[in-house]
Structure 1
Amino acid sequence: MLKQRIITALLLAPLAVLVILWTPHTVTMAVFAVLVVAGAWEWAAFPGWNSAPARIAYAGLMAAGIAALWTSMPESPRLDVVIDVAMLWWLAALAWIAFMPMRMNRAIAAVAGFLVLLPVWLALVRLHGRDPHLVLFLVLVVVAADVGAYFAGRAFGKHKLAPRVSPAKTWEGVFGGLAASALMAGVGVYWFDVTPGPFLALCLVVVVASIVGDLTESLFKRHAGLKDSGSLLPGHGGVLDRVDSVTAAAPVFVFGLEWLGRLS
């Protein structure tokens, strides 16, 4: 499985860099939209809508939501409310994971898809519109956290992080992920020429958010009886399995950068 994950990642990495750094902003927006709609197709299984017509309908509604955001000019300050709602959602998701992971119903699963997927599209678009390198940096921070958590968890993992949600994740993995991402954040300080303290703090908060995003998808998959959200990406599963961490990390990164005055 690790070999498959590495091969898939190596194949996808150049394509991701191409889309992020070297394609026009509108094209990148469209690519992000396709990924979100593909994620919506997979998310439809969480409330139990497994038939093709049901999945098409859910993905279609998500596409309509993206179109509404797109035509409302994603750079408009009026859309800050979408990011604000996402922040509230992820705080609620953290509380849910910590205190009520066994509770679930179809309505929550269906609505949650919109609270997760629409804000991440808007957040990525806003980052890309400001500076494509911000999107690349965000991805690198999340990947560093993922890699650090994987190897630290395998080597030292003993204390379970959220056994009722994702039994394989450990606190040792969390600390390994934070350490790896802190190194990447240090690179970001020089990359973007920012004040170290606040930026490093923001990056660590972003990593915590990425963990919440990962655990949230695991929670929905567990209640739906799924191991993976799909099978499109060998070694990784579906689109959601690859971007679950980013769904929470991107809105938090945008919110933090706006608070620091870096997106104004």
Structure 2
Amino acid sequence: MLAQRVVTALVLLPLLLALVWYAPTPVLYGVLALVGLLMAWEWTGLMGWAAKGRRWAYTAACGLLLALAWLAPGRDILLPVLLGAAVLWWIFAVSLFPGFPDNLSRRQTSGLPMALLGLLLTVSTLLSLAALHATGPLKLLFFLFIVFAADTGAYFAGRRFGKRKLAPNISPGKTVEGAIGGLLLAGVWALLAGIPIFAPAGAVQAALLLLLTMIVAAVSIVGDLTESMFKRVAGIKDSGNILPGHGGILDRVDSILAAAPVMVLGLLATGL
């Protein structure tokens, strides 16, 4: 399993870096939209939709929305509205953690609200990534590595220091100490890379960049826990099997789903 994970990462990471660095933003969005179709298909699995017709229809609807969102004349006006709605969901998602699993049932994750949520999160996330890329590939890479840093820091800190469970009913392996380690590593990343990339004007903006980075890292953990929660309700281990050793697309991007809208809204709010 570990060997599969490493091989998959070694194949995908250079492709991702090349896409971000060399592709123009419309091409990047087009590739991301294709990934979004896979995400939509896997989301129907979280909803427990077994009928292939329903799954194909939902995936097609997601593709149509992704195209319309990109081609919409008022995309710059639409984006903050979509991001705001997504961020409100992630704030609400945190409130579900303490009472899980008694407060969430299969019926609640198989209906229209869950279907609409999947469309909102997919479209808002992919538009966020494209918006970041349009301001410069380095800014998008900086964001992606916030998520990687939070995940890596949480893994190693959790293995070394982890004692207190963060959300035992959702993800028993995650610890409070691991989460703190992830936040700290993300903070170090902000200081080492964020300052040169964003060139904040003065100490206040530098502090805002550090704060935003830590918030984005924290929200990435919320995204991970939320997908784990939905998978437990659905009774599945992975959202899919397209990535050997990693599971499905959603298993790899759950943190990004939560973090990307927060990152873009934060940048808009702080003027960074």
TM-score band by shorter chain is over 0.9
Q: State the shift of 1:44 in Å.
A: 0.3
**Which residue is equivalent to 1:132?**
137
| TM-score, with structure 2 as normaliser | 0.92
Which deviates further from its counterpart, 187-196 or 220-229?
Answer: 187-196
**Which residue is equivalent to 1:11?**
11
How many angstroms apart in 2 are the aligned matches of 1:131 and 1:236? 29
How many angstroms apart in 2 are the aligned matches of 1:124 and 1:74? 18
Q: How does 1:112-127 map to 2 (within 5 A)?
A: 112-127=117-132
| Counterpart check, 1:222 vs 2:227 | no
1:10-36, CA deviations, whole angstroms, 9 ceiling, x for partnerless residues? 211110011111012111010111111
| Counterpart check, 1:91 vs 2:91 | yes
Letter in 1 for 2:181: G
Q: State the shift of 1:38 in Å.
A: 0.7
Number of matched pairs: 262
| Counterpart check, 1:236 vs 2:246 | yes
Is the CA contact 1:21–1:132 (under 8 Å) kept in the aligned structure 2? yes
Q: How does 1:1-264 map to 2 (within 5 A)?
A: 1-73=1-73, 75-102=75-102, 103-104=104-105, 105=108, 106-107=110-111, 108-186=113-191, 187-194=193-200, 195-262=205-272
Letter in 1 for 2:40: A
Q: State the shift of 1:112 in Å.
A: 2.1
1:161-212, CA deviations, whole angstroms, 9 ceiling, x for partnerless residues? 1111111111111011112111111121122212321000000000111001
How many angstroms apart in 2 are the aligned matches of 1:140 and 1:12? 15
1:219-242, CA deviations, whole angstroms, 9 ceiling, x for partnerless residues? 110100010001111221110001
Indicate the RMSD between aligned Cα atoms, in angstroms: 1.5
How many angstroms apart in 2 are the aligned matches of 1:243 and 1:19? 17
Structure 1 portions without partners, runs of 5+: none
Letter in 1 for 2:90: W
- Are the structure 2 counterparts of residues 196 and 161 from structure 1 closer, same or farther at C-alpha, using a change threshold of 3 Å? same
How many angstroms apart in 1 are the aligned matches of 2:49 and 2:61? 14
Report the secondary structure of 1:98's partner residue: coil
Is the CA contact 1:166–1:215 (under 8 Å) kept in the aligned structure 2? yes
Structure 2 portions without partners, runs of 5+: none
- Percent identity, aligned pairs only, is 44
How many angstroms apart in 2 are the aligned matches of 1:150 and 1:234? 20
Q: State the shift of 1:7 in Å.
A: 2.3
How many angstroms apart in 2 are the aligned matches of 1:148 and 1:67? 36
How many angstroms apart in 1 are the aligned matches of 2:121 and 2:98? 18
Q: State the shift of 1:77 in Å.
A: 2.3
Q: State the shift of 1:3 in Å.
A: 3.2
Q: State the shift of 1:101 in Å.
A: 4.3
Report the secondary structure of 2:47's partner residue: coil
Which deviates further from its counterpart, 53-62 or 245-254?
Answer: 53-62
Is the CA contact 1:74–1:125 (under 8 Å) kept in the aligned structure 2? no
How many angstroms apart in 2 are the aligned matches of 1:81 and 1:193? 27
Q: State the shift of 1:146 in Å.
A: 0.7
Q: State the shift of 1:130 in Å.
A: 1.8
